[in-house]
Amino acid sequence: MAISLEVNGERVDAQVLPRLNLADFLREQLQLTGTHVGCEHGVCGACTVRVNGEIVRSCLMLAVQTHGASVQTIEGLSDSGEVADLQAAFRDRNALQCGFCTPGMLMAAQDLLKQQAEPDREQIREHLSGNYCRCTGYQAIIDAVETTARARGRGTA
Amino acid sequence: MKAAAFAYARATSVGNALELLKAYGDRAKVLSGGQSLMPAMNLRLISPELIVDIGELAELRGIAVTGSVVRIGALTRHVDLLTSPEIAAHAPLLTEAISHVAHPAIRNRGTLGGSLAHADPASELPACMVALNATIIVRGQDGERRVAAGEFFKGIYETDLSARELLISVELPVAGKHSVHFFHEFARRHGDYAIAGLAAQAMVERDIFTDLRLVFFAVGDRPVLARAATKLVNITITPAVLAAACTALGEELDPQDDQQASAAMRRHLAKVLLARAASALLDRPDLNAGGRA
The answer to whether residue B279 scores a pLDDT higher than 50 is yes
pLDDT at B289 over 70: no
- Which helix (H) or strand (E) is B142 found in, with range? none
Residue of B nearest to A104 (CA): B105
Nearest Cα residue to A95 out of A107, A85, A105: A105
Q: What is the mean pLDDT of residues B135-156?
A: 97
| Number of neighbouring beta carbons within 10 Å of residue B177 | 6
- What average pLDDT does the structure give for chain A? 96
Strand pairing category for B135-140 and B166-173: antiparallel
Mean pLDDT of B24-34: 97
Q: Where in chain B is the domain with CATH 3.30.465.10?
A: 58-173
Q: Do the bridges between strand B153-155 and strand B158-159 make them parallel or antiparallel, or are there none, so unpaired?
A: antiparallel
Confidence of residue A155 (pLDDT cuts 50, 70, 90): confident
Q: Tell me which residue of A107, A92, A105, A95 sits closest to A151, measured CA to CA.
A: A92
pLDDT of residue A154: 87
- Per DSSP, helices labelled H in chain B are 14-24, 37-42, 78-83, 85-90, 92-98, 104-107, 112-118, 124-131, 149-152, 239-252, 263-282
**CATH entry 3.30.230.80 includes domain B179-287:** no
Q: Which residues pair with B145 in a beta bridge?
A: B138
Choosing among B38, B43, B82, B111, which should be mutated to test the A contact, i.e. which has the most A CBs within 10 A? B38
Q: Please determine, for residue B15, whether its predicted confidence score (pLDDT) is greater than 50.
A: yes
Mean pLDDT for all residues in chain B: 96
Q: Half-sphere exposure of residue B233, counting CA atoms within 13 Å on the CB side?
A: 13
Q: What do you get for the CA distance between the two ends of chain A, in Å?
A: 43
Which ipTM did the prediction report?
0.94
pLDDT (average), residues B100-121 = 97
Partner residue facing B1 (CB), from A18, A40, A127: A40
- pLDDT above 80 for B293: no
Q: Which helix (H) or strand (E) holds A103?
A: helix A102-115
Whole-prediction pTM: 0.95
**Each residue's pLDDT tens digit, B195-239:** 999 999 999 999 999 999 999 999 999 999 999 999 999 999 999
**Quick one: pLDDT at residue B290?**
58
Is there a contact between B103 and A65 if contact means CB atoms under 8 Å apart? no
Could you give the CA distance from residue B47 to residue A39 in angstroms, rounded to a whole number?
A: 19
What is the share, in percent, of chain B residues with pLDDT greater than 90? 95
Which pLDDT tens digit goes with each residue over A49-74?
A: 999 999 999 999 999 999 999 999 99
Q: What is the pLDDT of residue A156?
A: 56
Q: Are strands B153-155 and A10-15 parallel, antiparallel or unpaired?
A: unpaired
CA closest to B79 among chain A residues: A54
Express each pLDDT in B35-87 by its tens digit: 999 999 999 999 999 999 999 999 999 999 999 999 999 999 999 999 999 99
Say if residues A75 and A103 touch (Cβ distance below 8 Å): no
Average pLDDT rounded to a whole number, residues A65-94: 98
**What single letter denotes the amino acid at residue A41?**
H
Closest Cα to residue A57, out of B189, B38, B125?
A: B38
Please compute the mean of the pLDDT values over residues B14-28 and round it to a whole number: 97
Q: What is the pLDDT of residue B238?
A: 96
> The domain B7-53: what is its CATH number?
3.30.43.10
**B contact test, residue of A56, A124, A142 with most B CBs within 10 A:** A56
DSSP letters along B154-215, please? EETTEES--TT-EEEEEEEEPP-TTEEEEEEEE-SSTTSPPSEEEEEEEEEETTEEEEEEEE
Measured between beta carbons, the chain A residues lying within 8 angstroms of B104 are 55, 108, 111-112, 127, 130
Numbered ranges of CATH 3.30.390.50 in chain B? 179-287
Q: Residue B178 in contact with residue B203, Cβ under 8 Å? A: yes
pLDDT surpassing 60 at residue A157: no
Closest A-chain CA to B105: A56
CATH code of domain B58-173: 3.30.465.10
Span B221-231, pLDDT tens digits = 999 999 999 99
Q: Where in chain B is the domain with CATH 3.30.43.10?
A: 7-53
